[in-house]
Amino acid sequence: MQTSFPFRTAQTVGVLAVTQLIGWGTTFDMLGVMGRVIAPSLGLPNEAIFAGLTVMMVISAFAGPATGRWLGRYGAAKVLAASSVIFAAGLLLLAAAANIAVYALAWVVIGLGGALGLSAPCYTAVVEREGANGKRVIAILMLFTGLSATIFWPILTLLNDNFGWRVTFLVSAGLHFFVCLPLHLFGLPKPVAAHTQGTGAETPPVELSPADRRRAFLLIAVFTTLCTFVTFGVSPSLIEIFRQSGASPALALQLGSARGVIGISARALDMLLGRRGNPILTSVMGVSLMFFSFLMLFVLPPSTPLLVTFVLLYGFGSGVLAVARALLPLALFSAKDYGLQAARLSMPQNLANAVAPVVFTAILDRAGAGPTLVTCAALAAIALVFVLMLSALVRGARASAQPA
């Protein structure tokens, strides 16, 4: 485990933690407390308001490949700065929205900002400054992003209660323009040339042939997309699954809250492992825990101890998987290619995020918890097969690289 934490690393963490908290808290997480406030004011049904998140994810998905090219051409700091301006514009549109057309346009703009400012560009900024050793920093940042709703829901609620939702969005836009933009432009340390240029930056951790590199990318894409489809799909339906599995409303709420805490704890463990962490091994462990948790809850008779065990297994598995998804490209591809590959991977992941809640809600409402759990277990099992194939590919490449 790393024992030192240089000032420039702390500076990178500080800047990106603040901007990612604001980025997630005022966009993706925001409707959790503001959605049902906006709906009656605009005369729109709740589902139309919450469809803004689907628009955001779809736009972010299709902008992902272009983001990867811009990261390679301009660097993460400029791309992140552009996202701050675009987020501010989108939130200003939300503040001015008087009908569904302007509301939808606002989420289109916010979706573009998400592609340029959330997750992949942030982690690329870390790799530009820390190189292949940025795994610990990325894990630390994921701890902060996991707390974005916890921090911003009370803030947004307080602003809305005192000033109304339009002023709340004006303040949110101001945070992006007056806080995030200067931090991205002037607060980040300069990139280290050795991490983005030269032989060291272009040498991947595992030597793969061009064909195996394409195969590895596809395996990572399928694995991460299946995992994010399950976790994003189950998340809004988890309390209802608990209720249908025998939990009282109060216990279901407690279990749902505990799952978030356990997920954050799992991210903290990955952070403590630092350089010694293996994203492929972590992925196998995480998806295995998810598979057994769903299978166990489906097969065994409902009981409170069973539900608690499920939360422990699923919460820890989904928590470590969140970190592994961010780190897998860094384990297979060069530091120079990280931004491009991570942005390309964001396209199928964001599309999965956009449709998963609708799919799982429909299954749960129409068929019940049992078929929902079977679907989750089946998808987790398929994901496990793909990550084991990836592990075999890496082992084969390392074995062939060994001198005879």
What is the dihedral sign for C-alpha 185, 326, 351, 30? Answer: negative
pLDDT number for residue 2? 47
pLDDT number for residue 163? 96
Structure confidence by residue, pLDDT tens digits, 185-243 = 999 999 886 555 555 556 677 788 888 889 999 999 999 999 999 998 888 788 889 98
| Highest averaged pLDDT of the listed ranges 206-220, 249-263, 272-286 | 206-220
Query: Which residues are CB-neighbours of 211 under 8 A, at least 6 positions away?
Result: none
Structure confidence by residue, pLDDT tens digits, 64-90 = 999 999 998 999 999 999 999 999 999
Pick from 372, 347, 344, 343: nearest CA to 357? 372
Both tokens of 2, joined, read 């790393």
Torsion angles phi and psi, residue 77, rounded to 5: -60, -45
DSSP characters over 128-190: HHHGGGTHHHHHHHHHHHTTHHHHHHHHHHHHHHHH-HHHHHHHHHHHIIIIIHHIIIIISPP
pLDDT number for residue 269? 67
If one compares 129 and 169, the residue with the highest pLDDT of the two is 169
Whole-angstrom distance, CA of residue 399 vs CA of residue 404: 10
Greatest extent of the chain over all pairs of C-alpha atoms, in Å: 72
Q: What is the mean pLDDT of residues 260-270?
A: 73
Q: What is the mean pLDDT of residues 356-377?
A: 90
Whole-angstrom distance, CA of residue 114 vs CA of residue 28: 9
Whole-angstrom distance, CA of residue 354 vs CA of residue 334: 29
In this predicted structure, the answer to whether residue 4 has a pLDDT above a threshold of 70 is: no
Q: What is the mean pLDDT of residues 165-181?
A: 98
Structure confidence by residue, pLDDT tens digits, 24-44 = 999 988 988 898 899 999 999
In this predicted structure, the answer to whether residue 274 has a pLDDT above a threshold of 80 is: no
Token pair 């340390």 in the structure block, residue? 189
pLDDT number for residue 401? 66
Instruction: Quote the mean pLDDT of the chain.
Output: 88
Domains of the chain and CATH, by start: 7-196 (1.20.1250.20), 205-399 (1.20.1250.20)
